[in-house]
Amino acid sequence: MKKILITGGAGFIGSHVVRRFVKKYPQYQIFNLDALTYAGNLENIIDIENEPNYTFIKGDIVDAPFIDQLFAEHEFEGVLHLAAESHVDRSITDPLSFVKTNVIGTMNLLNAAKATWQGNYEGKRFYHISTDEVYGSLGAEGLFTETTAYDPNSPYSASKASSDHFVRAYGETYGLPYVLTNCSNNYGPFHFPEKLIPLFINNIIQNKPLPVYGDGKYTRDWLFVEDHAVAIDLVFHEGVNHDTYNIGGFNEWQNIDLVKLLCKIMDEKLGRAAGTSEQLIAYVKDRPGHDLRYAIDASKINKELGWKPSVTFEQGLERTVNWYLENQTWLNNITSGEYATYYEKQYAN
Ligand code: NAD
């Protein structure tokens, strides 16, 4: 059985990738390595925990001796690396933890893969999952392509950019077989409620203010998380060695318009009068270094690998809202305790 390591599989995107791989590929033994930080939650993958081709390992990618030992023991043939510190606001208050996990953690995995594979790269693949935020900010026009120069503005995007560079450098310097993807904002089930869409769904349910940064004109491209998992599956199996693909939803939204659409869907779902949830919108002080617009050109993966999103934004958003309404215990377990303290600190201004 081919042994595949997926890092960060208890997080948002990782849980969808792990589920897909465990169910679709019984010929793979899937190892899910996750430190279970505040963002990692085994409830996200409870439905597959007893599958015979699935093993969970609790561990920290920053711990080099542990990672070396793990690779020496299992000799993974494939790595899908998703573990990361992923929240921009947290990177502003604690940048060093982003350097540790996103840069040093990635280096540890690269070193362990290199040491294990020892130049015998046949059938091996290191897949690094990254973000479009490495490209920085766009003006009103244009799209990020795979050749856009990196220009990160937040500690989060700087740490992801750095890890991307190291992955490419290991490819060039040591011949390590890698693929890399840069994806736009994901949304969907199991999204941690510090991120915009689940945060606002939760606040609307609870009649709490909806904190919109600045003037709400920030523009992002949004992709349903299951469509990202499909793209990851495709790139892992069919992507060209040493190549990069942008992944996006062809779906740009200004934050304020997105929030209004979400309010409309929530009013319908909760049986509230039209316009009720919109009254919760509260503009708050802007985030420092806030990028104005991200927009991704995903035509390369579309042309070369035949991938495109399977759901429209309206369909994906409705599925997401339904999921959160049906899984309020999951939401309540997270929004109590430590997260509640973080939330108060973050939005106290
Ligand atoms: P997430 O924060 O939901 O999950 C990250 C997971 O990594 C968690 O389970 C956490 O416990 C684990 N982790 C963190 N530090 C670790 C460490 N030191 N050792 C082992 N595990 C650790 O993140 P996500 O939104 O699922 O993002 C996954 C990946 O996709 C990240 O690399 C992120 O940069 C990238 N990405 C995310 C988005 C998005 O919109 N969420 C878009 C593009 C790319």
Identify the three-state secondary structure at position 117.
helix
Helices (H), 175-243: 196-205, 225-238
pLDDT tens track for 28-51: 999 999 999 999 999 999 999 999
Per the structure, the count of domains in the chain is: 2
Which CATH number do you get for residue 325?
A: 3.90.25.10
For residue 70 and ligand 1, the question of a CB distance below 6 A is answered with: no
User: Which residues, listed in sequence order, are joined to residue 282 by a DSSP beta bridge?
Assistant: 211
Instruction: Name the pTM for this structure.
Output: 0.95
Quote the ligand 1 centre to 130 CA distance (angstroms): 9
d(CA 264, CA 254): 16
Minimum-distance ligand 1 atom for the alpha carbon of 15: 26
For residue 60 and ligand 1, the question of a CB distance below 6 A is answered with: yes
pLDDT tens track for 149-197: 999 999 999 999 999 999 999 999 999 999 999 999 999 999 998 889 9
Which residues are catalytically annotated?
132-133, 156
Express the helix, strand and coil content of the chain in percent, nearest 5 each: 50, 20, 35
Q: Do 202 and 239 fall into the same domain? A: no
Q: Do 117 and 229 fall into the same domain? A: yes
For 125, the enclosing helix (H) or strand (E) is strand 125-131
Which CATH number do you get for residue 131?
A: 3.40.50.720
ipTM of this predicted structure = 0.99
Domain of residue 109, residue span: 2-187+224-247
Residue 63, number of CB atoms within 10 A of its CB = 15
Average of per-residue pLDDT values in the chain:
95
Identify the three-state secondary structure at position 148.
coil
Q: Do 200 and 91 fall into the same domain? A: no
- 290-317 as b/e, with b when 16 or more CB fall inside 10 Å? ebebbbbbbebbbeebebebebebeebb
